[in-house]
Amino acid sequence: MKVLVLIHVLSAIIGIGPTYFAHMLLRKNQNAVTLRHSMAMSQMLNYFPKIGGTIAVLTGILLVILGNYGSFLNLWLIGSLVLYIIIQVVVIGGIEPKSKRLAAWVFDEKNKDAEELPQEQNLLLSKISNQFYIATALGTVLFIFMIWKPVI
Euclidean distance between CA atoms 35 and 83, whole angstroms = 29
Instruction: Read off the pTM.
Output: 0.85
Please report, for the chain, the start and end positions of each structural domain, with discontinuous segments joined by +: 2-148
Q: For position 109, what pLDDT does the model report?
A: 93
Q: How confident is the model at residue 15 (pLDDT cuts 50, 70, 90)?
A: confident
pLDDT in tens, 41-63: 988 888 888 888 889 989 988 98
Q: What is the DSSP string of 108-149?
A: -GGGTT--S--HHHHHHHHHHHHHHHHHHHHHHHHHHHHHH-
Euclidean distance between CA atoms 118 and 105, whole angstroms = 10
Q: For position 151, what pLDDT does the model report?
A: 59
Tell me how far the alpha carbon of residue 104 is from its chain's centroid.
21
Q: For position 94, what pLDDT does the model report?
A: 95
Q: What is the DSSP string of 60-94?
A: HHHHHHHSSS--TT-HHHHHHHHHHHHHHIIIIII
Picking from 26-35, 68-77, 108-117, 123-132, which range would have the lowest pLDDT averaged per residue?
A: 68-77
Q: How confident is the model at residue 64 (pLDDT cuts 50, 70, 90)?
A: confident
